[in-house]
Structure 1
Amino acid sequence: MDNITHSLIGAVLGQAGLKRLSGMGMPTLIIAANIPDIDAACFFWLEGQEHLGFRRGITHGPIALLLLPLALTAIMIAYDRWQARKGTRPRERLPVRFVPLYLLALIGTISHPFFDWLNNYGIRLLEPFSSRWFYGDSLFIIDVWMWTGLGLSYWISRRRERARRTDWRRPALFGLAALATYVLMNMAISTIAERMIRTQLLSAGVTPTLVVASPPPLLFWQRDVFWRNDERYGRGKVNLLGDSDVDSIGNSTGMNDALIQAAVGKDSSAAAFLFWARMPFAYRDGGNLVIGDQRFSDELAAGRFSIAIPLTASGPAQRQAGQ
C-alpha cells in the first residue's frame, strides 16, 4: 500500500489506545508502519528494472520484522534522552520504556507487510529464507475509501481526546473494526470474481492455469480479472452491480521466444523483471522484444512495468521510452 495508508494505520492504532503504553508511542507506531519501505532507497544504486526484483523482499521478511523494530526503538529512546539533556523534552510525555516501545514498533512494522500483501504487486514474506512471492489480490495499492475511513476515525478520536472526553479511543476502535470488515469484503469480492471468470472460461473450452483478480481504483465492487495458460493470455471484467465478461480467445503469451532466455542470461535488468513478473507476456516491436506483465499492462503503466530487449541480444536490455 502507499505510505499515506501505512501512516494512517499506525496513527489509528495509536488512537485506539496503544500510544499510552509508552512515551514516544505515536511516532513510533507511525514510523514503524512505514519502515520496511527503506528498501525504496534501492533506486539510487540499482539500474533499469532491477529494483522490481529487490523491493518488498528482505526488508519485509521475518528477520527484518524483528530487527527493524529493535533499531527504531533504540533510535526513539536515544532521541528522548537527547531531548532530556537539552531540556526540550515535553513535560507531558509519558516515560519511555524499552519493552512496551519495542512492542509498539513490532506491531507497527508487522502491519506493513500485511497490508502490502493485500494488493497484487507482490511481496516476498519469507525472504531471505525463500524468494516466493505472495499476493492478496484484494485492494488497490491506493485506496481512497481506506484513506477516508481511517482519516475520519483518527480525526474524531483526536478531537475527543483534546476535549478530554473519556471515550476518545472509541472512534479509532470503530475505524479498525470497519477496516477489518472492508478488507474481508474485498477478499470475498476477489474470490467471487476469479471463480466467475474461471467458470466462463471453462464453459468456452479454455482451461486457465492462473486467474488473478485486480481491484481498480475507487470501484471496489468491480474487478479486472487476468487469465493465462501456457500459450495464451486474456482478461475479463466483473461488476457485482452489473454485467461481467471475458475475452476467452486472448493473445499469445510470446514467452517461448528464445531471445528471452538469452537476454536473461546476459542482462540483470531482464532477469530482475522476469523474477518479479507474475504474468509475463512478450511481443516484438521493431528492433526490440518487449516484455510486460498483465497486471500492469494498461497504457499508463506500460512505460514503468515493461522492459525492451534488443533483438540481437548482444547488449543490455533497454527501458522503453517513459520509464
Structure 2
Amino acid sequence: MTAAVELGLLYATMALGVYLTFKILNFPDLTVDGSFTTGAAVAAKLIIDGISPIWATLAGAAAGAAAGAVTGLLFTKGKIDGLLAGILTMIALYSINLRIMGKSNLPLLREDTLMTPLREANMLGTVSGILIFAGIAVAIKLLIDWFLHTDLGLSIQATGNNEQMIRSFGVNTDRTTILTLCISNALVALCGALVAQYQGFADVGMGIGLILIGLASVIVGQAVFGSRTIFISTIAVILGAVIYRLVIFFALSVGLNPNDMKLISAVLVIAALLLPRWGFLKKIPSLRQLRTTAAVRAS
C-alpha cells in the first residue's frame, strides 16, 4: 500500500497540472496524454546518454512546456477548437516520442536516476519515501498557490472565469492561455519524468488515458475535501491523486483484472460527479463543519 501512496504523490504533480487547465483556465486540454510520455521519453533518453538525472528531468519538463505552447498557439492563433487542438498535439506527440526514444521502451534499471539514492537506501516503499514525495508535491502546490495570487495568476483566473470581461481591461488572454498550457504540461511532463525513473522504464504508451487519471484526482479530491479556496483546492487535488491510487490498489487486491484499471477510473469519476447531485455527499459533514462543531463543543 505504501507504493500506491508513493505513486499517488508522484501523480499529484500531473493532477495539479490538469487542475490548472480544467479548473482554473476552464480549458479541455488533452495534450497531457502525450506530454506525460514526452517528459518520460526525454528524461530517459538523456539519462541513458549520460546526462545528469536532474538536468534530464528538467529537460523533460521543458519539452512538456513546448508541447503545451503548441496547443496554445493552435487554439489562440490558429483559431482551432481547444479540444481539437489538444487532440492534434497529442497525436503528433506519439510519433515524436517514438523518435525521441528510438524504440517503444527504454529501460532505466541499470542507470543512475533521481530514485537511485532512495532505492539504495531502501527508502522506497517506506514512510520515509512517502514523506519525501509528499514534500515534493506540497512544494509544487505551494508554488502554484503563490503564483495564482500574483497579478499574472489573477489574470489567468479571470481568463478562465470571464475571458471577454478581462480582455476589456487590457489583459492579453492569448498570452495567459498559452502560459497556463505551458505550465500545466510542464508539470505533467515533470511527473512523467519522475514516474519513468520510479518505475525503471519509459514506454511510449505510458500516457494513454492519463487525462482520466488527472480528472479523477481533481474531481474526487474536490468532491471529498471541497474547493472553497485555491489553497484547499490544491490540497484536495493532491489527496485526490492518493485516493485514486488507493482505490486502484484495493480494487486489484480483491481480484479485479489489471486490464480493468481504465474502467475503474471511469466509474470512480462518474461516482464523484453523480453522488453530490444525488444528495448523498451533502449529508456527510465537511471537514470545516466538523472543526466548527468541535470548537463549539470545546467552548
- TM-score, scaled to structure 2: 0.30
Higher normalized strand content (fraction of residues): 1
> If you compute each CA radius of gyration, which structure gives the higher value, 1 or 2?
1
Query: Relative contact order, CA 8 A, sep 6+: which one is greater?
Result: 2
- TM-score, scaled to structure 1: 0.28
Higher normalized helix content (fraction of residues): 2
